[in-house]
């Protein structure tokens, strides 16, 4: 009787410990925890990086060593969640060409912030008699004061 009871207990223990132990799963249920993402452009170390799923663009930029000085992040969303095999391209800032106040046409002068047709024609009239020797000399043109000069000084050259 003891043997039968012991056998029956061992059999029940074996059944409960092995029940549902090896349940097959499909590949759709198994989710990987890592992904590979590529970053190119104006970053210190472009390349392919392995990140955790649900990581953001900010994590990728940090992993690549950060942006270069000429990296333009104005079009990026740092909180964008990345997906496996994504490619992120960091553009370079475009250098704005400076406008020569000694040789620019009226249309080129009008592309400067705050310079309209009348001030552009006054600059052209002024330089017919005087060549600009310094950038500050443009303040001698009627209508250009310190405020307007401070707006355009980074966009002009001699």
CATH, residue 137: 1.10.150.320
61 and 43 within one domain: yes
Question: Range of 49's domain?
Answer: 34-90
Q: Which of 147, 105, 104 lies closest to 139, judged by CA?
A: 147
Answer whether residue 115 is part of any domain.
yes
Answer whether residue 118 is part of any domain.
yes
Q: How many domains does the chain contain in total?
A: 2
CB 65, CB 43: distance < 8 Å: yes
Answer whether residue 127 is part of any domain.
yes
Q: What is the pTM of this model?
A: 0.49
Q: What is the pLDDT along the chain (158 residues), one digit of tens a residue?
A: 777 877 777 777 776 666 656 666 666 666 778 999 999 999 999 999 999 988 999 999 999 999 998 888 888 889 999 999 999 999 988 776 788 888 888 888 888 878 888 888 888 888 888 887 887 888 888 888 888 888 888 888 87
Q: Give the domain CATH number at 53.
A: 3.10.20
74 and 103 within one domain: no
């Amino acid at each position: 009787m003891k043997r039968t009871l012991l056998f029956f207990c061992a059999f029940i223990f074996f059944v409960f410990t092995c029940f549902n132990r090896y349940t097959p799963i499909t590949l759709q249920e198994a989710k990987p925890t890592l992904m590979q993402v590529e970053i190119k452009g104006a970053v210190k170390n472009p390349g392919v990086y392995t990140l955790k799923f649900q990581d953001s663009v900010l994590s990728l930029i940090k992993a690549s060593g950060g942006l270069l000085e000429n990296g333009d992040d104005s079009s990026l969303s740092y909180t964008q969640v990345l997906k496996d095999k994504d490619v992120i391209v960091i553009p370079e800032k475009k250098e704005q060409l400076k406008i020569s106040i000694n040789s620019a046409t009226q249309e080129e002068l009008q592309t400067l912030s705050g310079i309209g047709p009348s001030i552009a024609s006054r600059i052209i009239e002024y330089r017919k008699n005087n060549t600009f020797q310094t950038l500050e000399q443009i303040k001698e043109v009627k209508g250009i004061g310190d405020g307007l000069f401070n707006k355009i000084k980074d966009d002009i050259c001699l």
